[in-house]
A and B are shown apart, each in its own frame.
Chain A
């Protein structure tokens, strides 16, 4: 069951990389593109906890690090997304999911992920990258991600529940 779930998540992440790089990037008029991979990672974290979120973030980030147009240092997205997925997983899952809490979680964790990625770039001396230039980009990206998250989080939740129909036992 865990294997099925893991396979589903990896499949989702590969699909997300392709959609982000090849489908959305040429269509969206701005250079900023919705972070499909990051939103899927956050959704996995939200739906199945910090451990799964961190793993999904690491794998998804690594995919985005090596997928063709990437030229930054390997592991930067993996670092940022592992953190974002973990943080999304620590949100209290006892309460019923609502659009508002989903949106707020996506906004906060996406900001952390994007900011950590930009910060590692600044620390590692990536050319032409300053925090002043990064902030508007991150701001617009967070807006995109929240909009995307409102659709993706419920979809991922449904898929994960379907992959593992056993109810959670509480007593």
Chain B
């Protein structure tokens, strides 16, 4: 015990200095990331932590028996996934806008662009907590399966979001309900255009706010909304069902209407999704 007598203070003397240095380091990191230089670190960390997340989710989820699946099980699962894939493709081609007057036009337009989608099926293996105030999820498919930044992500019920970063084995998806998410949308039977923004709400399924580009046109409750689509399908392909108009609050003074859209997708219960990796060429 004589050794301890010479160094009675086993801890470093100045915890406050350590704290100050660490806080400054964190501030430095934040300012480095403000310039956009932080993404390599994120990709590198994703390459290490992503597979761990996939593994943990597979082992500990209620479907944990998958880890001990036999080949027949895997074959059956593969068939299921293929069936689901086909269903998703059908869903994209024949979106919920069918009942409207524009159905034929949209179906035609969407058909050429969207009918022959090539998708990668993936599972949600990680979910950002509400305390982070962002709505993002991790998928167990990455660049090795063809998933890249700015690709559209579809759920069984409609549009889910877009890929914002991808490591070799995993991808991060920004959900539609995130406050940072903006989607071009086409609404109602009159082919109006608007922009859908996430309300950033972190509880429940979340809602979207619609800004119609044509202020005079006010949508009706129940109008279906599909994605407008950008050039080259980046980041969103056209004609994917998004949701229904849930509430319209008109304010006559400034002639605007606040339109709330309920998405078809339940963002609090995401599991299997499909990433659109491209349209098949020459078909």
Chain A contact residues, CB within 8 Å of chain B: 14, 17-23, 25-26, 29-33, 35, 49-52, 54-55, 57-58, 61-63, 65-76, 78-79, 82-83, 86, 89-90, 114, 117-118, 120-121, 124, 126-129, 133-134, 137-138, 141, 168-169
Closest 5 CB pairs of A and B: A128-B179, A128-B200, A75-B29, A66-B45, A79-B26
The one of A14, A49, A61 that contacts B11, using a Cβ cutoff of 8 Å: A49
Bound Cα distance from A31 to B270, whole angstroms: 12
CA distance A75 to B178 in the complex (A): 21
Task: Choose from B23, B124, B164 the contact partner of A83 (Cβ within 8 Å).
Answer: B23
The number of residues on chain B lying at the interface, defined by a beta carbon within 8 Å of a beta carbon of chain A, is 68
Q: Are A66 and B172 interface neighbours, CB within 8 A?
A: no
CB within 8 A of A32: which of B33, B201, B202?
A: B202
A52 to B38, CA, bound (A): 26
Does B188 reach chain A (CB closer than 8 Å)? no
Q: Which stretch (B47-55, B95-103, B150-158, B275-283) binds chain A?
A: B47-55
CB <8 Å contact, A54 and B127: no
Partner of A169, one of B4, B33, B204: B4
A118/B41 in contact, CB under 8 A: no
| Cβ of B57 under 8 Å from chain A | yes
Interface stretch (choices B14-22, B80-88, B108-116) = B14-22
Interface of A is mostly: helix
**Interface 1/0 per residue, B193-217 and A, CB below 8 Å:** 0000011111110000000000000
**Would you call B119 an interface residue if the criterion is a C-beta within 8 Å of the partner chain's C-beta atoms?**
no
